[in-house]
Amino acid sequence: MKFNVPGATIHYEFSTGSNTLNDTMPALFILPGGPGFDCENYKKYTELLGDRYQIVYHDPRGCGQSTLDDITTCTIETSIRDLEALRQHLKLPKINVLGKSYGSMVATGYATQYSQYIDRLVLVTGAPSHHFFPEACSILEERGTPRQKEVCDWVFRGDVRTDERAREFLRATRSLYAVTVQYDEQAILKPAIHFSPKICDFGFPRLVAEDGFDFIEDLKLIQNETLVVSGQHDWINPPSQQKIMVDNIPKARLLTLDAGHALEVDRPEEYRAALRDFLLG
């Protein structure tokens, strides 16, 4: 299904597979990482939470089946507005929001502006501002191999360019993202990686610029029950960033897992149990 927003067409779908929203179940919006990922890799949440929630998946503008007119509109602020437009399009008075990585950054910004429309909020391995980046660079310098530093620089400079280079980034950095379990090699080699190098190349350098996003001063505006999930060994959004969030969001609680950024790979059972306890409790 699709609907139009200024400068883009947004693709969305429901976990039930229906074209009609089941208004007898609470809605849970899943916000994908990136910038550049579409919703396809996140559909595992249907198995996890689809028994109790109507899960709403969407492809951010320019990703997956969503389109855009002008790449310069692909900012975190526009992602926030598109999310609110989708809520309004579906005529939902309240939603639950779960964001992972970049999706957590979008969810944080959304909650600072639209807290009144949120029931429960889950922020997974995210950060509240561009200040995560210098620390991530320091960790990469300490832990990374020469090849990992090279391919990460592609992302940092906005030079991913092609699907093949994106796959090479995933192959080379898998031990940075998942510290206890290796990613499935065949999954990484699949032709369709559900990722837009073009969106990443535009969005990431602007996200981490010195004048990039910064929601720290507004975290106190988030008045929702909030679960902040941290990976103890996360290199890109390290635990210090989630601590800032918990210290400043009034109703936030912190869960730290013995994992890297890819919690669902390193600690799948603990991660799933924590989500269900919070969202279904």
Round to whole Å and give the CA distance between 132 and 121.
Answer: 21
Round to whole Å and give the CA distance between 174 and 197.
Answer: 18
Cβ atoms of 219 and 103 closer than 8 Å: no
CA distances from 132 to 3, 43, 70, 129, 213 (A): 34, 27, 28, 7, 11
Residue 36 CA from chain centroid, whole number: 10
Mean pLDDT for back-to-back runs of 10 residues, the chain (281 residues): 97 93 92 96 93 96 97 97 98 97 98 98 98 98 97 98 93 91 52 83 96 97 98 98 98 97 94 95 78
Round to whole Å and give the CA distance between 194 and 104.
Answer: 18
> What domains, with CATH codes, occur in the chain?
2-131+214-280 (3.40.50.1820), 133-206 (no CATH)
Angle between helices 146-157 and 163-177 (to 10 degrees): 120
Residue 280 carries which side chain, given as an amino acid letter?
A: L
- SS3 call for 127: coil
- What is the per-residue pLDDT for 180? 81
- What is the per-residue pLDDT for 183? 52
Tokens 């093949």 correspond to what residue? 164
- Tokens for 184, please give them: 């499935």
- What is the per-residue pLDDT for 152? 98
Residue 42 carries which side chain, given as an amino acid letter?
A: Y
Paired with 56 in beta bridges are 14, 29
- SS3 call for 175: helix
- What is the per-residue pLDDT for 189? 47
Round to whole Å and give the CA distance between 142 and 158.
Answer: 22
CA angle 79, 17, 122 (to 5 degrees): 40
- What is the per-residue pLDDT for 188? 47
- What is the per-residue pLDDT for 190? 52
- What is the per-residue pLDDT for 186? 47
Provide CB contacts within 8 A for 27, sequence distance 6+. 21, 53, 54, 55, 56, 90, 92, 94, 95, 96
pTM to 2 decimals?
0.96
